[in-house]
Structure 1
Amino acid sequence: MLKKSLGIISAFVLMLGLSACGGNEDANNENASFGEKVEYTITGIDPGAGLMGLTKDVMSAYNLDKWELKESSAAAMTAALDKAIEDKEPIVVTGWIPHWKFIEYDLKMLEDPKGAYGGKEKIKTLVRKGLKEDMPGAYKFFDQFHWKPDDLQKVMLKIENGQSEQEAAKKWVKNNQDLVSSWIKGVESGNGEEIRVTYVAWADVIASSNVVKYVLENKLNYKVELIQVEAGPMFAAIADGSADAMVGAWLPSTHVDYYEKYKEELVDLGVNLTGTRNGLVVPAYMDIDSIKDLKAAE
């Protein structure tokens, strides 16, 4: 409830901020370009997110001199998107796949002809050194954990629609027994051993980490502690052994700095999900298809 309340407050503050910087005649002119109508603003997420730094680089690559990247939060960004779609208004937001908004709304990710966002990314599982020796069952489970963006987005949407993280995980697991069986095949019971999993407060990583927790606890008899941190500490905790695993490393772009810093001190178990992408997202009804169109709208 607190998380949802904070999201609503953040969204309200963001929309007030967008209104405060607006009010000009161009934005209200029916003949204005979509750039003028959105006041050359791209609605972003948390200022410390790797996607924000990447988007600034993209804006530079496309010479988007008039455009501003507005800092907010993931919750505020999706709230602003929801409001724009409800009113059939234009909006440009930072986005990524997987995300529940691609199931909930009719959206499109703008083409990136320069490849400035780095193309498709992958999500990796990283564990601490020594986990294989200390908890071979848990190590094998993490090594076998893999799924598709559509799987993850379904869990994310359940959470967004009000289910608790563990209830959403439980219902998804119930409907996907064959896939879950492949994760736990040959894995011995944990006999109540404790596992610490770090994660960032991104909708996709919250969902994946909670599915991992549910399976480990209810199928394999481990006790799992989920530890919410920022991206840097998520990697650092695995590297220094204060946590055991993480399933939300976006590579080769979003988390590349942290990965390069700590890669010698952790174990890379490889990809658990493919087909991820970063980019700029707009409602499907907008007459814009490429990031280049933003420059044209100036």
Structure 2
Amino acid sequence: MFNLNWKRLGIAAGLSLSLVAAGCGSDENEGESNEASNGDNTPDYSEEVNYTITGIEAGAGVVAAAESAVEEYENLSGWEVSTSSSGAMAQELSSAYENEEPIIVTGWTPHWKFAKYDLKYLEDPNEVFGGEEEIKTMVREGLEKDMPNAYKILDQFQWETSDMEEVMLEISEEGASPEEAAQNWVDNNADKVEAWTEGTEEVDGEKVTLVYVNWDSEIASTNVIKYVLEQQGFDVTITALDNGPMWESVASGEADGMVAAWLPGTHGAQYERHQDSLEDLGANLTGAKIGLVVPEYMEVDSIEDLQPDE
């Protein structure tokens, strides 16, 4: 690991001196060489963050991937993933960022924190977190027959990362309620909404139940599609659930659908368990991503740059 750090820093002269000292066979020189390797200008972030990754809810895909990373990367020996909630993670990130303190969090895109803070993903050479993800729409079996207009709107719902982050930022930065932010976005994007409702008819109070995981991204998307459905005459109820119950409620038919399925990584296990009991309507947003995230001011670029707890 020390040789890798020297290589990345490009200090060829320092490496040469270390090799000369080792060749002399002097215990004193060897100790000085090791001290130099540990005493370069790169801060020991691992110790500063107490060998801890700040996570979100236990059972979330990004948390499971972070736990796998701790097992797979030898240099993360002794590390742990601290779970809480997406809100608590955001608060800890905000506090650390304001004080320019080191922090490593489980992150995902889209998320308002990337618009508010200067952040970066740590490189993941072992690809534990996978590549890009899609956020998909899932509905219960039989919805197309029971409520064809709702089914078609959900099937045609598709937007971009910038759209979602616009709603999230209005909630987090301007203090708007999710309902207000969703209505404002819909009112300002009539052309996109028209494409979602194309070929559908207005209804009179048909009840639709949607579920979502309580993440900022899914609060935004679920409230937007709720408002669009209500404009078409539906009586819409939305309910926040944990990851597992969200999938179970759609697969069992207790809920009509969700626009919050992160695949293939984040909700991969839930999808494998329930895919035969629900209908996949495809991606409503592409280019999503999960991984370990740090502020740009931290001089670390890869998971492999971190040090074990020894």
What stretches of structure 2 of length at least 5 have no aligned partner?
Answer: 1-40
Q: Please report how far the alpha carbon of residue 49 of structure 1 lies from its aligned counterpart in structure 2 after TM superposition.
A: 2.0
Quote how far apart the aligned CAs of 1:296 are: 7.7
Aligned position for 1:211: 224
CA distance in 2 between counterparts of 1:31 and 1:283 reads 15
Residue 42 of structure 1 aligns with which residue? Answer: 53
Match of 1:4 in 2: none
Match of 1:62 among 49, 56, 73: 73
**What is the CA–CA distance in structure 2 between the aligned matches of 1:166 and 1:50, rounded to whole Å?**
27
The partner residue of 1:260 within 269, 272, 285 is 272
- Percent identity reads 50
Q: Which residue of 1 aligns with 2:189?
A: 176
- Deviation at residue 131 of structure 1 after TM alignment: 0.9
What is the identity, as a one-letter code, of the residue corresponding to 1:39?
N
The 3-state SS of whatever aligns with 1:268 is: strand
TM-superposed deviation, 1:297: 9.2
Q: What is the aligned partner in structure 2 of residue 272 from structure 1?
A: 284
Q: Distance in 1 between matches of 2:249 and 2:91?
A: 32
CA 1:269/1:80 → structure 2, altered by over 3 Å: closer, same or farther? same
1:219-278 CA distance string (max 9 Å, x none): x11110002222112111111211111000111111111111111111110111111111
Aligned to 2:92, which of 71, 80, 100?
80
* Distance in 2, Cα, partners of 1:297 & 1:89: 19
Tell me which structure has the larger Cα radius of gyration: 2
Q: Does 1:90 align with 2:102?
A: yes
Structure 1 residue 52 corresponds to structure 2 residue 79? no
| Deviation for aligned residue 1:75 | 1.1
How far, CA to CA, are the matches of 1:50 and 1:31 in structure 2?
31
In the alignment, structure 1 residue 200 sits paired with structure 2 residue 213? yes
- CA distance in structure 1 between the partners assigned to 2:288 and 2:138 by the alignment: 17
Matched, 1:233 2:245: yes
Aligned partner of 1:163 in structure 2 is: 176
In structure 2, the CA distance between the partners of 1:297 and 1:173, relative to structure 1 (3 Å rule), is: farther
Q: Distance in 1 between matches of 2:52 and 2:103?
A: 8
Post-superposition shift, 1:48?
A: 2.9
Give 1:66 deviation, angstroms. Answer: 3.0
Aligned equivalents of 1:73 and 1:232: distance in 2? 15
Tell me which amino acid in the other structure corresponds to 2:282: G
Question: Structure 1: 5+ residue runs without aligned partners?
Answer: 1-29
CA displacement, residues 94-117 of structure 1 (integer Å, 9 cap, x when unaligned): 100011100111111111121110
Match of 2:164 among 152, 157, 165: 152
Contact 1:62 1:295 survives alignment (8 Å): no
- The corresponding residue for 2:122 is 110
Match of 2:198, as an amino acid?
A: K
2:260 is matched with 248
- Between stretches 172-181 and 101-110, larger displacement belongs to 172-181
Aligned CA-pair RMSD: 1.6
Aligned-partner SS, 1:81: helix
CA–CA separation in structure 1 for the residues paired with 2:49 and 2:87: 19
